Amino acid sequence: MERLWAPWRMTYIRRAALLKRCVLCAALRRRRNRDGLIVHRGRTCFCLLNKYPYNAGHLMVAPYAHKATLAKLTDADLAEINAVLKRDFRAKGQAKMDRLDQDAVQRACNLNADNPPDSVAKPLEQAQLKTIKYPSGPMLGDWKSGKKIAESGRGMQWSEKPGSPGGGGCYNCHQLSAAQTSYGTIGPSLLAFGKKRGYGPDTQRYVYGKIYNAKAYNLCSEMPRFGHTGSLTEQQMKDLTAYLLDPTSPVNK
């Protein structure tokens, strides 16, 4: 499967404002576990399936406490959530247990509801910036390959052979070319990115760096760190940079 396209979610999203209580509390109040898609009830938290998943088999762990951020949970709640995550997640194929470990950036963002003070955020951003390895030659690859990478949602899955080329899943969060009518809106529209921001070396360096490690520019960005995690290769990131910044790319038509 290249993309999980879920148009039926729209009815739910449009009605969300009318919901009387949060979806997690509503699930908990259902008489039967299966009606709330609940698969486990712990001491302070429970596990349920996402009815409108972004990923195949999207399982969620939620506290009984009606709290919106990890920062608001007690240490006991957090400890049980971590224990349940580690118990229910099994290493399989290339998906190893280290996927559950947070690095310093994720910890700072989780503990500060994605809005850490500058004194915490700035040094971490600086350190992230230093991780970016720029290509030694030209920054732009082939936009036609970049288009395929932007449209593909593959990569990092347990069922894939380690090292097999993944995709960027850019359309999950961004509009890019006007020819693609299905796209997510978590990120800003990148339509005509080169036309608006310029095609020059500074923009090229920014786009390559942003794809490599988005959190170097915005610590708690929801955008994945494609180069930092090794999920895209240098050539793939150059091809994506071309997709955004080649004047002949459909993004700039």
Residue 238 beta carbon to ligand HEC: minimum distance, rounded to whole angstroms: 12
Nearer to ligand HEC, 63 or 224 (CB): 224
Candidates 216, 226, 238, 252; binder of ligand HEC (CB under 6 A) is 226
Residue among 188 and 247 whose Cβ is closer to ligand HEC: 188
Residue 91 contact among ligand HEC, Zn ion, none, beta carbon within 5 to 8 Å by kind: none
Tell me which of 9, 30, 43, 66 binds Zn ion, using CB under 5 A.
66
Q: Quick check: 235 binds ligand HEC (CB under 6 A)?
A: no
Residue type, 116: P
Examine residue 224 and tell whether it contacts ligand HEC (CB under 6 A): yes
Q: Least distance (Å) from ligand HEC to the CB of residue 34?
A: 30
Quote the least distance from Cβ 249 to ligand HEC, whole Å. Answer: 12
Interaction between residue 155 and ligand HEC (CB under 6 A)? no
User: Interface residues with ligand HEC (CB under 6 A)?
Assistant: 150, 168-170, 172-174, 186-188, 190, 207, 210-211, 214, 218, 221-224, 226, 240
User: Interface residues with Zn ion (CB under 5 A)?
Assistant: 22, 24-25, 66
